[in-house]
Structure 1
């Protein structure tokens, strides 16, 4: 249930359950299952939506659980030979052939650690999964070891994914599977010997899921973390030597294993995309409806209790203007000509964003999908193997391939979004500030932590809001979550001060300011003590919560959704109290 609570599909499910309840006039019982809930009361409230019932949640005390954790680190001392480029979140950006010593040592280590052990290797991107598993397969080939390496993510064909799941359930085969979020949830893959996480988990919830995959059937959960760092010495960049991903991993482990904390569910009180979808769905099911009858049916659904009638009136008016719906001569509402194109498509049934994919086929066998055309002769990776394009049917959106030896790369335009909660960011600061010993760190990791703590403490970022980086560039460290940090970003922009979040999971703002450090601190203090109206912020039109049907929603409502459901000025101010 925790997955549905975080996703627009969960809201759609609640709407559908309520509408089904109205048809026969019965109120079916809802049962939600989860092994990784932080605040159970939030799940109870979510399941209660639209039922008029009080959810019962039996809490089972499991007592203390043993967990085996280990973090290992590998280093690329970068030069001009060959590099694996990574962004601030540790994701692969570009690759040149061969790899540095750290990369090679890392893959050899993974090969040895997973040999004859049923393992899931988790990464945070499909590209990284493909790359890691291709290397392990190559090492196995050189060592004349069996090919037990599989890839499991949303772009691998359903048949290949199901084959992998069946192989992992088998007690005989020690399959090693590279995966993203697809193996975090629900799928029965039998008992595992261990799980491996390459890089940092995205958040505490993700860590809890991945740890839970290997602690079943009475086993002690065993999770191995690995990091590869590319060391580049640049004396001008005082924060560059800090591996934030590494520190975040320690913070995540501490929050879950010692404080039993998991991120709460972010608000979704203004789900205008779903409001559009349910409006069109009702008109599709019922035919002509009066505006009042339609509003009564839609706004009575529990998911839309925070949406005022004026917002719905504005949405309906806009949908009439763009011919998604139209008025009849009797004053009723029906689906318009443009709306017919939407609701008559099989894609209308889903409410989540899904990119346009091209099918990849080896003769008549489907391998999976990619989101761009790879021209004839170009090689790319998919399902843990390298392929070469032999033909492209653009009209049918099919790429025909043949399998080739070696290692190739692939990239998708959209991968996972991530955000950090204030509690996690504060824990990151605590890890940097205190001298607590973490027994799950290898000797190399302990040395690296000591280095990073020394840099952080001497840079002033742990105790000062603003730290000078160079010239007019400053780093602002309020030690708050991503949403609160972005709120400060727009508040500074409101005062014509440019700033940016260097990467999506960054814990500080990079600010360009011509004044002094003290003047910038004073401006931020004034913002925090002001009665800032978020509706006055200079938000570009493109700044909106992603949604499949955003093109049909008035920009004013999308802006309101971003302000009300994403920005958090109160949370920013509370962090300084």
Structure 2
């Protein structure tokens, strides 16, 4: 676009906005802002704007939207939906600087905001409403019959951090809310999504407008060609029968203390446990040196006030500080200029690493810094073959290579989300003050975002809700809340689609070890760290909030270190490509380079270049090189056939079996049709992964769980292909090195 075109686009903005931007030092509009401006000013098409963090996505949406409101004498409404309250607070301050010149009010609306802004909007509905999905749910539920009065002049809906919603129950809730709002208003309201770059932006468009993604315009911001200083460091420690890799992490903490003092960094370990470990270790280093504590934690279990102190210290602190954080600081909360990012343990996804690196290097002519640390144990005679391949290090290198190649995971959008459908049925009853089953199915499924739910499945779901006294059907065939349903919908927690984390008692052989907030996605077989030890969950009683634990074998932190993130097929394929070849990237330190070389030699020596099975004594390892959804499904198929199988990330480990016996079982599975989830899964061992799963009939529960976690078809295809798999063997007493 020429300078003349850019000037012409700028002049289409409301004159007060033009003056405001000049006063703020703007010299022109960025590429994404120029491309989005006519699309949003026109108001007829949905738009997804994708760009890196701090690239002006917010202004790309709001400059034309505010112009539209100004042209309409400021009586219109724009709804802005964000996943974080802190993000809403940031945007309120940012948008107020623009809106005050236009005399357009801004109303933040979430659980931590008082009643005054809400009352002002309800009395005079105009301006910008900045809201979370949960507060929008509450608004629709409590004031469903007032939607035309409140949002009759709604111009557009902006969804910030669109990528963070895709594939989650919260995302499906948001899709349903936007569709219900369209229905309540009797018209199609323009939707604008602000997203990080994804592997398939078409899926982001489909998410924004289910069934109409092909008509959504996607605006892609040109690559800003940010410079990157990159180093991967491996920290080794002798293999020992301890319950943590504490020695390596202690060494990393000491190095971070020396390197990061005097600068603002974000440090991303892969768990809340490690966030606390590093926060404590770095605090001790500061105190021992007689220095102020400039390393502070930030994660979702901390109180809101504590998180805000960290955010404010990063942004305006008297001293440079570094935050040790979870995914809470991946999103676009304003934390000022960050020098660099430290990733500890392999990133679970390329998209997550991209978000993290995008937080750094925003000053002009300043490179972003990425330091990747991997805590690595030296293999011993007691470790298994996977340890010879240093999977955490190899995964970290693979993810970084894909990141540098600008490949990102496509979002997972195939989940059925029956749990969220339960919530939406109950909420829709409240919004409409009763609804027929046919109208509920039409709104939520036939024309809404739950298109994968058949009419028969919906009827089965309603019967289960009636049996649980969540709803009933009156003489006029209206669905209304039952006795139990009334209690549920009138509790503040109803408006969230995701489950609450509540404290559970942890016990080992009847002895209480302590208490821990436990996400309801946890299930039997999962590993957690508590009291400096590694435990495997034996059983969960959600009613009594009790978890029975047993010591986990080969006590150490989980091997892949990627937290709850699901590893994609492409990442595992890249890991194999690294091990098959002999390339050592220049951005590895000497230790990481030597370990990768050893892993490549061992991979060849173990026969894994051509073979898929490796026999070690009474254990057989399957090297399928597939993502977690496929490998979890294959492990589930094997367990359903009586085998002791577990997805270890780099491989699937099957214990107490020979390779010949395993191949026989694989052939039996391959000869039968691909099983239904109900034939493979055990509900008692799965816990309650989503909030309303407890009320689902077995068939729907299993189908819903599998749609989120497993790819049974791909796993069954692996079993069919296994007839050509070759096995190599290694004596457990004969280490390669």
Shorter-chain TM band: 0.7 to 0.9
Q: What's 1:330 paired with?
A: 476
Q: What's 2:577 paired with?
A: 430
Deviation at 1:272, TM superposition (A): 0.6
Q: What's 1:553 paired with?
A: 696
User: Could you tell which deviates more after superposition, 458-467 or 536-545?
Assistant: 536-545
Q: Are 2:567 and 1:420 aligned?
A: yes
Whether the 8 Å contact between 2:394 and 2:578 is mirrored in structure 1 is: yes
Q: 2:188 aligns with which of 21, 27, 30?
A: 27
Q: From the superposition, tell whether residues 222 and 545 of structure 1 become closer, same or farther in structure 2 (CA, over 3 Å).
A: farther
Query: Aligned to 1:74, what secondary structure does the other structure show?
Result: strand
Q: What's 2:619 paired with?
A: 473
Q: From the superposition, tell whether residues 298 and 246 of structure 1 become closer, same or farther in structure 2 (CA, over 3 Å).
A: same
Q: Are 2:218 and 1:57 aligned?
A: yes
Query: Aligned to 1:168, what secondary structure does the other structure show?
Result: helix
Q: What's 2:283 paired with?
A: 137
- Give per-residue Cα distances to partners, 1:134-193, cap 9 Å, x unaligned: 111111112222221211101111112112111211275311111000001121111111
Q: From the superposition, tell whether residues 335 and 103 of structure 1 become closer, same or farther in structure 2 (CA, over 3 Å).
A: closer
Deviation at 1:419, TM superposition (A): 1.9
Q: Are 2:608 and 1:461 aligned?
A: yes
Q: From the superposition, tell whether residues 161 and 528 of structure 1 become closer, same or farther in structure 2 (CA, over 3 Å).
A: same
Q: From the superposition, tell whether residues 446 and 512 of structure 1 become closer, same or farther in structure 2 (CA, over 3 Å).
A: same
- TM-score of the pair, normalised by structure 1: 0.81
Q: Are 2:194 and 1:47 aligned?
A: no
- TM-score of the pair, normalised by structure 2: 0.64
Q: Quote the Cα distance in structure 2 between the aligned partners of 1:168 and 1:536.
A: 49
Higher RCO, 1 or 2 (CA under 8 Å, sep at least 6)?
A: 1
- Give per-residue Cα distances to partners, 1:37-63, cap 9 Å, x unaligned: 221111111112266882111223326
Whether the 8 Å contact between 1:121 and 1:179 is mirrored in structure 2 is: yes
Query: Aligned to 2:267, what secondary structure does the other structure show?
Result: strand
Q: What's 2:683 paired with?
A: 541
Whether the 8 Å contact between 1:544 and 1:558 is mirrored in structure 2 is: no
Whether the 8 Å contact between 1:37 and 1:262 is mirrored in structure 2 is: yes
Q: Quote the Cα distance in structure 2 between the aligned partners of 1:439 and 1:151.
A: 32
Q: Are 2:404 and 1:257 aligned?
A: yes
Q: From the superposition, tell whether residues 357 and 51 of structure 1 become closer, same or farther in structure 2 (CA, over 3 Å).
A: farther
Matches within 5 A, 1:46-445: 46-49=207-210, 54-62=215-223, 64-78=225-239, 85-86=244-245, 100=247, 102-170=248-316, 172-218=318-364, 219-231=366-378, 233-234=380-381, 237-258=384-405, 260-357=406-503, 371=517, 416-445=563-592
- Give per-residue Cα distances to partners, 1:355-389, cap 9 Å, x unaligned: 1259xxxxxxxxxx9639xxxxxxxxxxxxxxxxx
Q: 1:500 aligns with which of 632, 639, 645?
A: 645
Q: What's 1:403 paired with?
A: none
Whether the 8 Å contact between 1:2 and 1:34 is mirrored in structure 2 is: yes
Q: Quote the Cα distance in structure 2 between the aligned partners of 1:529 and 1:252.
A: 36
Query: Aligned to 1:240, what secondary structure does the other structure show?
Result: helix
Query: Aligned to 2:215, what secondary structure does the other structure show?
Result: coil
Q: Quote the Cα distance in structure 1 between the aligned partners of 2:221 and 2:432.
A: 45
Deviation at 1:446, TM superposition (A): 0.7
Equivalent pairs, count: 507
Q: From the superposition, tell whether residues 124 and 565 of structure 1 become closer, same or farther in structure 2 (CA, over 3 Å).
A: closer
Deviation at 1:217, TM superposition (A): 3.8
- Give per-residue Cα distances to partners, 1:211-253, cap 9 Å, x unaligned: 1111324432211112223435215733333321111000000
Deviation at 1:15, TM superposition (A): 0.8
Q: What's 2:674 paired with?
A: 532
Deviation at 1:321, TM superposition (A): 1.4
Q: CA RMSD in A?
A: 2.8
Q: What's 1:409 paired with?
A: none
- Give per-residue Cα distances to partners, 1:250-304, cap 9 Å, x unaligned: 000011112x211112234411111111110011222233322333333244311
Q: What's 1:520 paired with?
A: 662
Q: What's 2:96 paired with?
A: none
Give 1 or 2: higher helix fraction.
Answer: 2
Q: From the superposition, tell whether residues 298 and 228 of structure 1 become closer, same or farther in structure 2 (CA, over 3 Å).
A: closer
Q: Quote the Cα distance in structure 1 between the aligned partners of 2:658 and 2:250.
A: 46
Query: Aligned to 2:699, what secondary structure does the other structure show?
Result: helix
- Give per-residue Cα distances to partners, 1:441-491, cap 9 Å, x unaligned: 101111111122222221223321211011x32111111111111222233
Query: Aligned to 1:208, what secondary structure does the other structure show?
Result: helix
Query: Aligned to 2:195, what secondary structure does the other structure show?
Result: coil
5+ residue gaps, structure 2, are 1-161, 505-514, 519-561, 725-737
Query: Aligned to 1:57, what secondary structure does the other structure show?
Result: strand
Query: Aligned to 1:246, what secondary structure does the other structure show?
Result: helix
Q: Quote the Cα distance in structure 1 between the aligned partners of 2:704 and 2:687.
A: 8
Q: What's 2:175 paired with?
A: 14
Query: Aligned to 2:449, what secondary structure does the other structure show?
Result: helix
Whether the 8 Å contact between 1:242 and 1:455 is mirrored in structure 2 is: yes
Whether the 8 Å contact between 2:313 and 2:321 is mirrored in structure 1 is: yes
Q: Quote the Cα distance in structure 2 between the aligned partners of 1:242 and 1:333.
A: 58
Deviation at 1:127, TM superposition (A): 1.2
Q: Quote the Cα distance in structure 1 between the aligned partners of 2:229 and 2:426.
A: 51
Q: Are 2:166 and 1:5 aligned?
A: yes
Query: Aligned to 2:621, what secondary structure does the other structure show?
Result: strand
Q: From the superposition, tell whether residues 533 and 435 of structure 1 become closer, same or farther in structure 2 (CA, over 3 Å).
A: same
Query: Aligned to 1:159, what secondary structure does the other structure show?
Result: helix
Whether the 8 Å contact between 1:466 and 1:521 is mirrored in structure 2 is: no
Deviation at 1:327, TM superposition (A): 2.3
Q: What's 1:361 paired with?
A: none
